[in-house]
A and B are shown apart, each in its own frame.
Chain A
Amino acid sequence: MRDLSRVRAAILPETRMIWLETPTNPMLKIFDIAAIAEIARKAGTRLYVDNTFATPILQRPLELGADVVIHSTTKYLNGHSDVVEARSSRPTPPSPSGSPSFRTRWARWPSPFDCYLVLRGLKTLGVRVRQQCATAAVIAERLSRHARVKRVMYPGLASHRSARSPRAR
């Protein structure tokens, strides 16, 4: 995904969706959402971005041109390890004619209590993410100097490939 020419080459006439996870799990590679969104737009396909690891605090794919953003609310958004849930968002609501059928057949509706738990977590999301970023930076730096650690993947380290790619940030 870093090589945009390979992204363009991978799009086939029948391609309907580009699925992008950034940062990736577990290698924490970061990709240029805006550039890939532009490729998707020109190809007439849609870009879906899994934004779970970044959270909306650090990255807003819809503002960068993505068509749909996915979050596993189980993780940062809830933040208390007591919900298993995911959400998708897009700039415009689904069409009334097509959406109910899809939702009825495929989607899982969260319970009101699960929604309450996630809303509770969202109230502290900003504070948690900022502190977790600060803590992770210290841990990553210490790990990178440890004799028994061969390699550390953390975008905040100068040794991380994504740290040297300004557009990816």
Chain B
Amino acid sequence: MKAPGAMISFEIDGGLAAAVSFMQKLEIFACAESSAASSRSPITPRS
């Protein structure tokens, strides 16, 4: 690859509950049903 790309995955301290809490507090980002959307779309491991 010519560059590292634009996808990022990260793991939050505190497990699933912390991850869900984090996603519910997002303001700019909108949750997507899957990774199909190309906008700023966070997805959980359960998606």
Contact = CB atoms under 8 A, between A and B. Distances in A.
B1 A153 contact: no
Interface in B1-43: 1-14, 18, 35-39, 43
B36 A155 contact: no
B5 to A, nearest CB: 6
Interface stretch (A41-49, A52-60, A92-100): A52-60
B4 A74 contact: no
B6 A129 contact: yes
Nearest to B36: A74
A34 interface: no
B38 A75 contact: yes
B7 A28 contact: yes
Given A81-B37, A81-B38, A133 B11 contact: no
A156 B37 CA distance: 23
Contacts of A136: 4-8
12 contacts: A23-B7, A30-B1, A58-B1, A58-B5, A81-B37, A81-B39, A130-B3, A133-B6, A135-B6, A149-B12, A163-B4, A169-B1
Interface of B: 1-14, 18, 35-39, 43, 45
